[in-house]
Amino acid sequence: MRILVLGTTGYLGGHVAERLRALPGTRVLAGGRSPAAEVTVDLASDRPRHLAKALASAAPDAVVNCAGATGGDAVTLAEVNARGPAVLCAALREAAPGARLVHLGSAAEYGPGAPGVRVAESAATRPAGPYGATKLAGTVAVTASGLDAVVLRVGNPVGPGAPPTGLPGRVTALLRDAGSDPGAALRLGDLSAHRDFVDVRDVARAAHLAVTAPGPLPPVLNVSGGEAVPVRELVRTLADVAGFRGRIVEEGTSGSARSARVSWQCSDITAARDALGWRPAHSLDSSLTALWAAEGASVR
């Protein structure tokens, strides 16, 4: 089986590619803008015909699109998150119409949640900013494409290798810099929100199951932890794992513009269990332990 993974240099894409490469009888092709990519594509700028030629040459049985932008201005977000999936679908219809497409979406497409409510895939989508809106546009392009396609709507990923652009990775970097100084202060924004965290390795396993599942799948599946966790609890747990004995100081508002207007987020993951036999295998504690262990390994 030939699987083209787009965005392998990213956090999610790297874990997805690693998971798929472990499957027997599978060849994983890395696609992206990197000079090291086996299939050179740029979803933000390639024309559909050019992309179709690259896909025809790769001849994939499945494509996993992990390419996406979480930051930047609205134009950048639209180019990568909205235009990218639309161009990819157009190219696949021409070059590899029988290939399965697994696209990584985002729970940010739902927008603000109601406290105590797990959001199912049938819920209304009301993204609160450009990030969620552009990810939703990408989802619509995939689900309306007519291809054998599924969107995995991913919650807040956490685990080994988390980048500093997200809260877990940013807090990890701050804890590394603080060291064991008992007088150190970890200065963060408002930590009162609740988020649905999911281990990046569980996301990779969901992508694996979606690629290999027989028959058509539902158009959208939530891939999250299924629990709303206080962000303050995540930070405190990560600090404990790191052996931090200083102070945690909340100052002002959240540092993430794409999540500042969403105080509660929690997804219903029943459909992914029913369609894929998937459920999270990693607890939040184990995810944070693995995140800190990987951070330590990277600086040795």
pLDDT digits (tens, 9 = 90+) for 229-247: 999 999 999 999 999 999 9
Dist CA 245 CA 231 (whole Å): 19
The neighbouring-strand residues paired with 104 are: 152
113-114-120-125 Cα dihedral, nearest 10 degrees:
-40
Structure tokens at 243: 């052996």
Domain extent, residue 62, equals 2-160+198-226+264-281
pLDDT digits (tens, 9 = 90+) for 260-299: 567 999 999 999 999 999 999 999 999 999 999 998 645 4
pLDDT at 34: 87
Burial string for 265-294 (b: 16+ CB within 10 Å, else e) reads: bbbbbebbeebbebebebebeebbbbbbee
The neighbouring-strand residues paired with 165 are: none
| CB of 65 closer than 8 Å to CB of 4 | no
Reported as type and span, the H/E element at residue 293 is helix 284-299
Whether 34 maps to a domain, the answer reads: yes
Tell me the percentage of the chain whose pLDDT exceeds 70. Answer: 95
Instruction: Calculate Rg over the CA atoms of the chain.
Output: 19
Dist CA 7 CA 294 (whole Å): 21
Q: Is the pLDDT of residue 142 over 80?
A: yes
The DSSP bridge pattern shows strands 229-230 and 194-195 to be antiparallel
Whether 132 maps to a domain, the answer reads: yes
Whether 293 maps to a domain, the answer reads: no
Q: In which residue are the tokens 């150190």 written?
A: 184
Tell me the percentage of the chain whose pLDDT exceeds 90. Answer: 90
Which amino acid belongs to residue 231?
A: V
Whether 115 maps to a domain, the answer reads: yes
Dist CA 93 CA 145 (whole Å): 8
For residue 150, give the nearest of 202, 86, 211, 102 by alpha carbon.
Answer: 102
pLDDT band (50, 70, 90) for residue 251? confident
Whether 62 maps to a domain, the answer reads: yes
pLDDT at 296: 65
HSE at residue 35, side-chain half, CA atoms within 13 A, is: 0
Whether 186 maps to a domain, the answer reads: no
Whether 216 maps to a domain, the answer reads: yes
Whether 189 maps to a domain, the answer reads: no
- Give the total number of structural domains in the chain: 1
CATH of the domain at 9: 3.40.50.720
For residue 196, give the nearest of 286, 258, 263 by alpha carbon.
Answer: 263
pLDDT at 215: 87
